[in-house]
Structure 1
Amino acid sequence: MSSKVLVIGLDGATFDLVGPWVAAGKLPSLGGLMADGVWGTLKSVVPSISAPAWVSFMTGKNPGKHGVLDFVTRSASGDGRPRLVSSLSFPDKTLWEVLGSHGRTVGVVNVPVTYPPKKVNGFLISCFMTPPSAKVFTYPEELARAIPDYRIDTRFALARHQDGRGYESKRELLREQYDITRKRASVVLRLLDAWPVDFFMVVFKGTDNMQHYFWDRRDILLDYYRTLDDIVGEIVARGGSAADVFIISDHGFGPRGSKEFYTNAWLEGLGLLRTRRSVGSRLRQSAQRLALNVNRKMELGRRLPAAVSGVASLVVNHETKVVWGDTTAYGRDDITSIVAVNINLRGREPYGVVEPGRDYEAVRDTVVEKLRAVADPDSGARVMRDVFRREELYSGRNLGSMPDVIGVPHPEYVVKNKMSFSRSVFLESTELMSGEHYAQPDGMFIAHGPDIRKGVQIQGARLIDIAPTVLHVMGVPVPGDMDGVVLSHIFAEGSEPFARQPVYQDTEEEKARVRERIERVRGLGGAKGLAG
């Protein structure tokens, strides 16, 4: 049993970049870990974006259990307004909470969706989702005073929602990412010396941030990866030779799609949704078309369309209204990156018109069939890579809050679930970013250490498998409600984790469900009730 585990998250890192650079000898630290350990792709969740992915990692559960499907979630108050997700959005125990409950000490730095910081058996520094005005971003609170040079990269997330306009230039963005990365590395190294723990984890978000804006500049990305490679080497060395090391990413990456697919415009074209548009919405459509034409002819860096988009949401929200009485299906604007369609179900939706049961299934079957058949009007290519009914992807107590139909596009397309300003299903993308991960589920996995096999490429690892695997390595029972499994095939023959069978333990929640079922059965007449 390893006395120490070290996890380094490289958000959005992909073997599409790392593989060739390692082969060319340009990333010696990562290359050395791969040569003396195991490596392979790490399958993310749907959608492959940071919030649901990292929550799935830390809980070992699919989104149908923890309920996080994006950076925002529907308000529990029923007012229809999205709320930013946080560590309070899900009650599930995290990997470090489970470890702490078994007496293991933990240190956690910058893992997404850890704000506000919860009490742990050790220390925790929250993530980029920390509000800029937050007074407390660490546990214990006094830790913040010991790291005055630490920076949380809140600015990038805000700038991204403004299409990159939060920076004067890409050069400024570049400088900031290096500064944040180096300061985070410095603090991590000091903490490893000053506060020894059994489990330590840090996530570097700069890989994701840089790839969004510099996917088309491999020279810039390589320089940044080289900096991170040096940092990884220092952290691994500081962790000691007795530590088992896991390098993970929450999803892959690739070029951003050049076309946008508007879910609600598509549903409206099928007659499943009806809207009422005013003059303001039509004016905005004309302005957008003008911007696109100017952008094509003058190559204005896509800033004119972005500027038009600055007022777009106001116009759309106030000038385009859904006629709910004539709507049987709609795209959910609280979910990005995937087609997320809800049936306008009576009893669930505020203005539901579709009856549960046969009518619901008939509408859903229509959406699934039509979505699978959607083709690009220019090329004739299929737009969707995969289409699912929600129960085909998710399970658990939050299944009812998942979209009724989910569509994952091919990488050439970017899904927009917000209400469209026009009835155009396809539009040219106008965003500044050159890289995206919405349709790139293959993250990166490397494991290295005294308990790990050497020089082996593995298959089939999933992001939700990491938490149970770490628990097994550290001799802690795996909660029975985790969906992930222990990656037993990564362990070296003769190592302690290899020889020991994983132990799965019922959680209190599961025990309570069993007790409830027993009581219900007794009320129905014992064994006769069971048979019914």
Structure 2
Amino acid sequence: MARAAVIGLDGAAWHLIDPLIEAGVMPRLAALRDRGAWGTLRSTVPTYTPPAWTSAVTGVNPGRHGIYGFQFGNIQDEPVELMHAGKVKAPTLWDMTRAQGVRVGAYNIPLTYPPQPVDGWMVAGMMTPGFGERQRGFAYPAELTQRIERWAPGYVIDLSANYETDWRDAELCRRGLASIEQRYVVLERLLQDDPVDVVFSVMEAPDRLQHVYYRYLDPSDELYDTAAAKRIRPEVETCFAALDRVVGLLGDWAGPDGGAIVCSDHGFTAWLVTVRTNALLAEWGYMRTRPTARLMRTKLARAMVPVAKRVLSRRIARQAKGHTFKAIDWSRTRAFASNIPQQGVHVNVKGRERFGIVEAAEIDAVRDELIARFEELRGPDGKPVTDVVHKREDVLSGSELERAPDLFPVLRDHTYELDDEIFHHERFTNVADLPRGVHHPDGIVIVAGAGVEAGGRIEGTVMDVTPTLLYQAGLDVPTGLDGEVLRGAFSPSHLDANPITWTEPPARSGDGEDSPYSAEEEEQIEDALRGLGYL
């Protein structure tokens, strides 16, 4: 077998990476692309970190692995649970390598807390609790936690960002650079001290930087040439130069005869408008609120929401969010917005939802009515805004389909972000005066290594990452995955000489679905998610 590595750059997009390559900021990434096949990697529906990276490490769609966002369930569920590794319903890469007797390194992948026992090592990523000295048990073997803290004192598990405030200066860049440099140190030591055969790593910094500074980074954006952009952009580029060193580290580790995949879980675009989904549903007669909710619909009350997010304690903010949804009159509500990261709409179905009223026989009719409403929807400019409304069964499949939103509207190529607040009369809120960004389905992929046709162009989905990684390592690919080996990356002669071999799917590992978080840890994680606008 050969060494093989995934170098995950969360949120990376070619229209942002290309200018960095042209400016000489990322020479190691450029070199990999030059000797590899490359193209667009399509994300999941919904286009968010938890379902997308989970699809990348399982090779299956969210309807099979069951991860749709950062929280389990929807707003009718009490208590709302945070997602964690035990909620993943499908076998992961480390299950597949274990079944074939291969050592694996899993580094900084979202939703890998609590870390699973593996033949190799695992360092948990996003959704891991604790900061600084309060961090605990974020690595396997257990003693690896202390070793990491010695190698990188003050080790940051997940770079936090606040989209409400961080765009005003470059402090996020400075914190981001420090965390990337820690990642390099830790990965270098792990690869040297504890050899493995396969590595899957994720760098979260691109996502955080682009959420906050996106419109300063996109050459086609009207904010690109502003004074603020010219001040911030060099500091962002310093972060990407540090990320390029990580790309080089893992590319060198894999070697010319090994395999290297650079990929992202999704791309990015400008955040121009917030869509008040529940306000639309209320206007259309599908959602009703109690009379007390009217007190929060004044202009002053709504203006205080961003301030409250910044100054209220985590616990009070969490309780306030819960109280807002109690203002919904569920006895007269036929549809409601999903949690923000799911970017969808739930039909309030009797027997499925806790306060459901819509009969099963009426689901299709309600969905068709809502699709028609979205298709007729006009934006602030008077033009249509809806690109498509996906029915869940058209983009998802599997045993976990029932927990997905019924509909996934896509508006203005994702520059219109759906919201789940309820205290709004307006359909839309214009946020185009700020430089922030949101997720787009078009991510990046590079496949380099033995048998790859240099300069080839490929297209795929995040579900193709693990099958392709296994193939490059010379391992068997489990049957029945939704993803495929990216055959287009390899020469026909290589595929003929090295045919894909298959194996039965392994058993899923994990410690069960019970939450591993204390109440305080949940608050810490929710605070970080709130800063990114995910809650």
C-alpha separation in 2, matches of 1:241 and 1:28: 17
Partner AA of 2:142 in structure 1: E
Structure 1 pair 493–283 and aligned structure 2 pair: CA distance change class (3 A): closer
| Aligned residue-pair number | 483
Matched, 1:228 2:227: no
Does structure 2 conserve the Cα–Cα contact (< 8 Å) formed by 1:306 and 1:430?
no
Moved more, 131-140 or 34-43: 131-140
C-alpha separation in 1, matches of 2:297 and 2:281: 21
Does structure 1 conserve the Cα–Cα contact (< 8 Å) formed by 2:138 and 2:145?
yes
How do residues 382-461 of structure 1 correspond to structure 2 at under 5 angstroms? 382-410=384-412, 411-418=414-421, 420-429=422-431, 434-437=436-439, 440-458=440-458, 460-461=459-460
Structure 1 pair 347–31 and aligned structure 2 pair: CA distance change class (3 A): same
Does structure 2 conserve the Cα–Cα contact (< 8 Å) formed by 1:465 and 1:484?
yes
Q: TM-score, normalised by structure 1?
A: 0.83
Does structure 2 conserve the Cα–Cα contact (< 8 Å) formed by 1:344 and 1:353?
yes
Match of 2:367 in 1: 364
Which of 118, 124, 127 lines up with 1:126 in the alignment? 124
Match of 2:330 in 1: 324
Query: 1:429, CA displacement in angstroms?
Result: 3.5
Q: SS state of the match for residue 388, structure 1?
A: strand
Which of 256, 277, 282 lines up with 2:295 in the alignment? 282
Structure 1 pair 236–228 and aligned structure 2 pair: CA distance change class (3 A): same
Identity of aligned residues (%): 31
Moved more, 168-177 or 16-25: 168-177
Structure 1 pair 106–509 and aligned structure 2 pair: CA distance change class (3 A): closer
Structure 1 pair 189–271 and aligned structure 2 pair: CA distance change class (3 A): same
Match of 1:142 in 2: 143
Matched, 1:347 2:346: no
Q: SS state of the match for residue 360, structure 2?
A: coil
Does structure 2 conserve the Cα–Cα contact (< 8 Å) formed by 1:305 and 1:430?
no
Match of 1:252 in 2: 267
Moved more, 311-320 or 15-24: 311-320
Superposed CA deviations along residues 130-157 of structure 1, whole A, max 9, x for unmatched, are 1004421111101122222445545644
Superposed CA deviations along residues 281-321 of structure 1, whole A, max 9, x for unmatched, are 535632156679xxxxxxxxxx7586599988766653662
Query: 1:493, CA displacement in angstroms?
Result: 4.1
Does structure 2 conserve the Cα–Cα contact (< 8 Å) formed by 1:368 and 1:389?
no
Match of 2:285 in 1: 271
Query: 1:11, CA displacement in angstroms?
Result: 0.8
Q: SS state of the match for residue 346, structure 1?
A: coil
Query: 1:509, CA displacement in angstroms?
Result: 7.9
C-alpha separation in 1, matches of 2:463 and 2:21: 26
Match of 1:521 in 2: none
Structure 1 pair 231–252 and aligned structure 2 pair: CA distance change class (3 A): same
Q: TM-score, normalised by structure 2?
A: 0.83
Moved more, 471-480 or 498-507: 498-507
Structure 1 pair 330–30 and aligned structure 2 pair: CA distance change class (3 A): same
Does structure 1 conserve the Cα–Cα contact (< 8 Å) formed by 2:9 and 2:204?
yes
Structure 1 pair 239–473 and aligned structure 2 pair: CA distance change class (3 A): closer
C-alpha separation in 2, matches of 1:403 and 1:290: 29
Match of 1:476 in 2: 475
Does structure 2 conserve the Cα–Cα contact (< 8 Å) formed by 1:288 and 1:308?
no
C-alpha separation in 1, matches of 2:158 and 2:453: 41
C-alpha separation in 2, matches of 1:428 and 1:285: 18
How do residues 488-499 of structure 1 correspond to structure 2 at under 5 angstroms? 488-495=487-494, 497-499=495-497
C-alpha separation in 2, matches of 1:341 and 1:72: 15
Does structure 1 conserve the Cα–Cα contact (< 8 Å) formed by 2:457 and 2:489?
no
Partner AA of 2:202 in structure 1: V
Structure 1 pair 307–328 and aligned structure 2 pair: CA distance change class (3 A): same
Query: 1:501, CA displacement in angstroms?
Result: 3.2
Does structure 2 conserve the Cα–Cα contact (< 8 Å) formed by 1:129 and 1:154?
no
Higher relative CO (Cα under 8 Å, sequence separation at least 6) belongs to 2
How do residues 203-242 of structure 1 correspond to structure 2 at under 5 angstroms? 203-215=202-214, 216=216, 217=229, 218-242=233-257
Q: SS state of the match for residue 229, structure 1?
A: helix
Partner AA of 1:369 in structure 2: A
Moved more, 214-223 or 445-454: 214-223
Q: CA RMSD in A?
A: 2.9
C-alpha separation in 2, matches of 1:308 and 1:385: 37
The answer for unaligned runs of 5 or more in structure 1 is 293-302, 511-532
Superposed CA deviations along residues 3-27 of structure 1, whole A, max 9, x for unmatched, are 1101111111110111233244442
The answer for unaligned runs of 5 or more in structure 2 is 217-228, 509-535
How do residues 11-22 of structure 1 correspond to structure 2 at under 5 angstroms? 11-22=10-21
Query: 1:90, CA displacement in angstroms?
Result: 1.3
Query: 1:447, CA displacement in angstroms?
Result: 1.4
Structure 1 pair 313–499 and aligned structure 2 pair: CA distance change class (3 A): same
Structure 1 pair 382–203 and aligned structure 2 pair: CA distance change class (3 A): same
